[in-house]
Structure 1
Amino acid sequence: MELRPWSLSAADLELVREAAADDLIPITAVSATYSREAATRFVERQWQRATDRTGYPMVIVRRRDNTPLGSIGLWLKDIDEGRASLGYWVVRSARGHGVAARALEAMATWALEELHIPRLQLYVEPWNRASIRTAERAGFECEGLLRSWQKVGDRRRDMFMYARLATGTLAEPDRVCTG
């Protein structure tokens, strides 16, 4: 597995098409009625985030055949407060192989050790057991439930807040995050 910037290649546009059709990936900002134009705009928004230095959006790629499997991003909206957030998704055809956890571990290690960001955080819907396992495998610890935290689609959703600190473990080892 490796991470690379988005491109307008046929493979990346196909990745966006598969994600857009996936009910578990509602945050791609591409309508379920896929079009090449919408996918192109999605990729261009990823480039703009990198240009604006608001984030580092990357494609998760299977190394052996260069197949795009998903997306991961490091978002810098709160960098002035010493924290950044991460988000990730893997298309249905690539799930269940630990791809997201390896990508999250790689991106988190880079952000903590190379960019020297003190705190990384991510949000997971309580029902999403696979994403909870992914976050925990990558060294993130649950800090609590944020009620009605984020709008996903047309509804506000509860989210578990997970964090990983540059200093290692969080202060209090017992967590309240159970779905």
Structure 2
Amino acid sequence: MTIELRPLTAADAEAHCAGEDALTVRWLTGGYGDVEGTIKFFEQLTQNATTGTGKRGFGIWNSDRLCGYIDYTPDLDDGLDPEDVALAYAVHPWARGQGIAVQAVHLICNTLRTTKTGTRAAIRVEPQNTASVRVAQKSGFTYIRDFPSNRDTHPDGTPTTFSLYLLDL
């Protein structure tokens, strides 16, 4: 199986929203998206790519079917050093367990190397998110430490604890 990453467009918003489930909401988004809001988010990602600032996101495609999402944020400072680039990803339920996230992480790291963006890729993951921990490990990332977030909180207001995994680019 070969996957590819492509910038997301308004035409992808419905399939993107349809791929969200309770695990996506729990570990990544914090809430279900709607098509209108998703289109605005994709437009912001396109603008960020144009200006070379902020989060850049891509659809993960397998045989011309959208099967997930991956992004990178070069300026996230929550638990990261200045040259670290944060990665985040989600795979649609029907495509999980096939190694798609690991392939997508490899592809996005190649993009970071090619564009000379950052010196290390970083995956910040809640330790209880065992699937994402496995992706970090299978992608060759090294566990560094756990830390309390200075931005993300649980519904009760307590800081989210993340495990930090890094990979030299």
TM-score by length of 2: 0.81
Question: Corresponding residue for 2:96?
Answer: 95
1:56, CA displacement in angstroms? 2.5
The offset of 1:102, in angstroms, is 0.4
Structure 2 counterpart of 1:8: 10
Map of 1:25-64 to 2, 5 A cutoff? 25-26=24-25, 27-28=28-29, 31-32=31-32, 34-53=33-52, 54-62=54-62, 64=63
Kindly indicate whether residue 164 of structure 2 is the aligned counterpart of residue 157 of structure 1: no
Contact 1:49 1:57 (C-alpha < 8 Å) held by counterparts: no
Residue by residue over 1:124-170, the C-alpha shift from the partner in whole angstroms, topping out at 9 and shown as x without a partner, is: 1111111111111111111011135552563532110000013xxxx
Q: Which runs of 5+ in 1 are unaligned?
A: 167-179
SS in 2 for 1:139: coil
Could you say if the C-alpha distance between residues 146 and 98 of structure 1 is closer, same or farther in structure 2, counting changes exceeding 3 Å?
same
Higher RCO (CA < 8 A, seq sep 6+) = 2
Identity of aligned residues (%): 25
Q: Deviations over 1:50-79 (max 9, x none)?
A: 2332232111000x2x00011111211159
What number of residue pairs does the alignment pair up? 159
- Determine if contact 1:85/1:121 at 8 Å carries over to the other structure: yes
Contact 2:146–2:164 (CA<8 Å) still a contact in 1?
yes
Match of 2:66 among 43, 65, 68: 68
Relative to 1, partners in 2 of residues 1:90 and 1:150: Cα closer, same or farther, differing over 3 Å?
farther
Q: Give the distance between the partners of 2:44 and 2:4, measured in 1 at CA.
A: 21
After the TM superposition, which segments of 4 or more aligned residues of structure 1 sit over 6 Å from their partners? none
